[in-house]
Chain A
Amino acid sequence: MTASNPLKPSERMKIPRQEPLEQDPQERSTNFLEVSFGFDMDRTLVEAQRCLDCKTPYCIDGCPVGIDIPGFIRLVLEKDYVGAVRKIREANYLPAICGRVCPQETQCEEVCVLAKKLTPVAIGKLERFVADYEMREKLFEAPVIKEHRDEKVAIVGSGPAGLTCAAELAQKGYRVTIFEALHATGGVLRYGIPEFRLPKEILDLETERIKALRVEIYTNFVIGRTATIDELFDEWGFSAIFLATGAGTPTFMGIPGENLSGVYSANEFLTRVNLMGAYRFPDTDTPIRIGKEVAVIGGGNTAMDAVRTAKRLGAEKAYLIYRRSRQEMPARQEEIHHAEQEGIQLLLLTNPTRIIGDAHNWVSAIECQRMELGEPDESGRRKPVPVKGSEFVLEVQTIVEAIGQKPNPIIQSTTPGLTTSKRGTVVTDEMQKTSRPGIFAGGDLARGGATVILAMRDGKQASVAIHTYLADKRAAQLPSHL
């Protein structure tokens, strides 16, 4: 028993985990409105009571940015929702986003003590509730910046890594400028993750809150083209730079027929829909093509988003083709479940071998092969091997390849002295330092494809490293960037 929670632990453990309200699957598969409504206040208060307020809260270790989880839940129980979201914001500046897209089940919730025998506290949904509450009631106040510093820091890329690093450094009093290649901020949060999982209104609001910290944002600015890294140091007068350009370059399978009309990379498909609003064509000018039958290749979050988007755009049949089994799918369980509810057909242990076109060079079918699982590979997952003679042909008019992305090479190829790996990622140490002094990197650019919360962790870590770097430089009174 504590002041905020009158229930005894044994009583708390009897309360079942609360389930969020969701839009009806049938209905939602034809619209772009948010699938999950999250918790209402009643469910929030019940769920919060389940937390045991552990002496050793393992959940905090499970959160890459170290949110004081029992601390904010205590405030929820006191109905101080704004206090709770402020507590979260001390560690995580984007709570409304993480509450929605963070893979909680493999982070904080996986290590919650209740997860072992019962079900973990729904930490993500609680986080979302308090963030939404603050938003709905318009109670956000920008944190007060106590100290102002002269040094300018440039952030390249406005995805979760860049936004987080910017927010942290601005709160430390630095003059922060974000450079973004696209016409809008957010990175994958904007162009990749669809409206029905993360409404753009929320992203816009979180971006406004970063601006409220007096962070300057240049959109339409491609570093490596509009200005180079060295120009940012030498001409623009930045003292440190954080690179967070993500891993946005699509890869293709390399099978015959990939250049037929109607074959998209997931990035092109999702960018047309999310960034350019093609789902509202012709009210917007950017078109998208959707056949009666659509196949999406891949098993990650990207594939899941693409196939569910295809369904919403009117595909009568939307297939997801994945070469391993369900267990190996890297997508979040919640998303796979949602997809199946919406009528997505999973073709597991299936691998495309060839795309077939019609007389007009349009996709008309895809040839696939059945697979079976063999020995585990380097990643520890069992390797899929083709079953001889198992080829079959599936009629489809649109194909989306979601088989992985790599970092965009524009900056790496225009910045001398920046070490990259064979996979094209920028090499950093655990403090996010690169091979060049004053240049830090993180998020998908350093990790290859990862997650929103890991990108945020890197942004936060880099802000600490940049702070130390600039303090050391100030102490040594070296001229800038040497």
Chain B
Amino acid sequence: MNPALSVIFFTTLSGAGYGLLVWTAIGAWLQQPARGLLVSLLLALVLVSAGLLSSLAHLGQPQRAWRALSQWRTSWLSREGVAALVTYVPALCLAAALLPAMIAADARTSVVALGAAGVTCAIVLVVAALATVACTAMIYASLKPIPAWRHRLVLPVYVLFALVCGGLLALSVTAPTGPGRLPALLVAGVGAMALAACKWRYWRALDTTPLSPTRGDAVGLPMREVALFERPITEGNYITREMAFVLARKHARRLRALALVLIAGVPVACLLLGWAVAPLLATACGAAALSALAGALVERWLFFAEARHLVTLYY
């Protein structure tokens, strides 16, 4: 499949943003300092909004994008749009709840004890953010003509990517101290390694599973061996440009290794450094987050570019 940059930026940036929203909500519930929470909340909203705006660039008629909110009964893309917009409501409510503590003189350390409404808000935010990421994954996982995306790990990988990138960003913004530090670093490290393991398994499955229908099936003659003689046009067309993208499969091995290093290798090393040298924690987590985001970009590019569409059987 053609790896459109607008869609890659959308899924990675807004994915990280939704992950950051999840961790911010959890941080608010755990009564972390208000300033860090508010900064990470705003950063998350910037990432989410940038991603959503980038996705508009993918559309042929972006001014009609509002129509995409109408068909949530059947379309995962529509559900994603609705969930993405709904998520803004609890996020902004939480920001409003945190704002007074932020303005207070001792903002760096002051905490906000969320009331019942605040806790509800945080829970809704976690659910809505995760639902948005899950809808994004389901857009792809529900497409039968692209067998690679039907794999059962596609949904968990999208969610894990959001949580890992968002978690590392949250760590770099809040730089936790005290007893919460070690568990937070451990969760981030284990998450990054779990993500790398999932991708590893996904790629192994991709390499060992052949494209199931044959060209014979595609032309309705499953008993015959069918070889291409002439394409409909000697030049490319929308179908070949959009669905038949071969560059990635040529360089897949190197790009996969690069993605794994960026997703798990570098972040885990940074987290260890941050754990050993406490003053470097924020910087190390920032580097880990940037590395994981770069890894997400490489992985997402491969996710699109490597996947074969059944229509390529005709070409």
- Whether chain B is bound by chain A comes out as no
A contacts, CB < 8 Å to B: none
